Amino acid sequence: MAAQPEQGYLSSVRRILDHPRGGPTILRIVLGTQLRRLREAAGITREAAGDAIRGSHAKISRLELGRTGYKTRDVDDLLALYGVNDPEEIENFLALARQASVPGWWNKYSDVLPSWFEQLIGLEEAASVIRTYEVQFVPGLLQTPDYARAVTRLGHPRTDDDEIDRRVRLRMERQRALDSEFGPKLWAVVDEAALRRPLGSDREVMRDQIDHLLKMGSKRNVTLQVAPFSLGGLSAAGGPVTILRFLEPDLPDVVYLEQLTTALYLDKQDEVENYMVVMDRLCATADTPAASTAFLKKLRKEF
């Protein structure tokens, strides 16, 4: 008997089609998740699915993880293979595939945007909550243009001014998500070391950055905490960590770990839970938002 998708599959596809947070990255992940479940319910291997779309099992794996775009022909062929024959169901899946192939706003920065970072921007667009801990720098979503420029120059010392400016503009556009009606809630813990490390050509850069943190910390969707030196080893959670959570129930929490020239995206439950425990401990032991505001006001006088 041909495998039919459970009602939950179709309702999830409809929900994400109408979802205001749905960017192409998250749409690819949702579509891949739904097709993986259909494949498994039909008892079909990745190898057989790959043969059906003139590809390989590795291609099916990338598609199911949402790491590459879908051709509508491939989706049509996979649905037929998995026994989906209801016209309305097929059209919903094809509509999702078409939307998932529309470039995100960040595509115009493709010349300065590495592929491993593009996924983070898409996840930020779709997240309902972003929790982040930063050790060395102020979080990118909370940086001023001058501070962002100083950070970018540190990471790209041989880059010309025009490219630096484009990288800074990209970072500023990322921040617009926080002002969106459907934007995420940001819960940021910043290590004291990041706040005391001067960046930029003069002290005004740090004063402006601290003023910006005070302003952002007062927003309804931003919680800002400082992890003081007194936390000792606990504050050194192994480096910067970002955890993204989504309203879409089919999407697991994602842990983002950035490195110098690449990044790791973790979504296995045990891995995510380990980082969630660390983040919970940090938030419980860091200064409260009120105490963090007082700390920032005091620190500003030192610059």
User: Given this model, what pLDDT does residue 242 score?
Assistant: 95
**Residue 40: per-residue pLDDT:** 92
| C-alpha to C-alpha distance for 206 and 201, rounded to whole angstroms | 10
Provide block-wise average pLDDT over 10 residues at a time, the chain (303 residues): 48 58 78 90 93 90 84 92 90 88 87 88 90 94 96 90 95 91 91 88 90 96 93 68 86 86 87 92 94 96 88
Contacts of 227 (CB under 8 A, 6+ apart): 133, 189, 190, 191, 192, 235, 282, 285, 286, 287
Which pTM was predicted? 0.83
Render the burial of 266-303: b for 16+ CB within 10 Å, e for the rest.
Answer: beeeeebeebbebbeebbebbbebeebbebbeebbeeb
Distance CA 109, CA 112 (A): 6
- Output b/e per residue, 180-198; b: 16+ Cβ within 10 A: eeebbbbbbbbbbbbbeee
Residue with tokens 């998995």: 82
Radius of gyration of the chain (CA): 22
Return the structure tokens found at 9.
């599959």
Measured in degrees and rounded to the nearest 5, phi and psi for residue 270 equal -65, -35
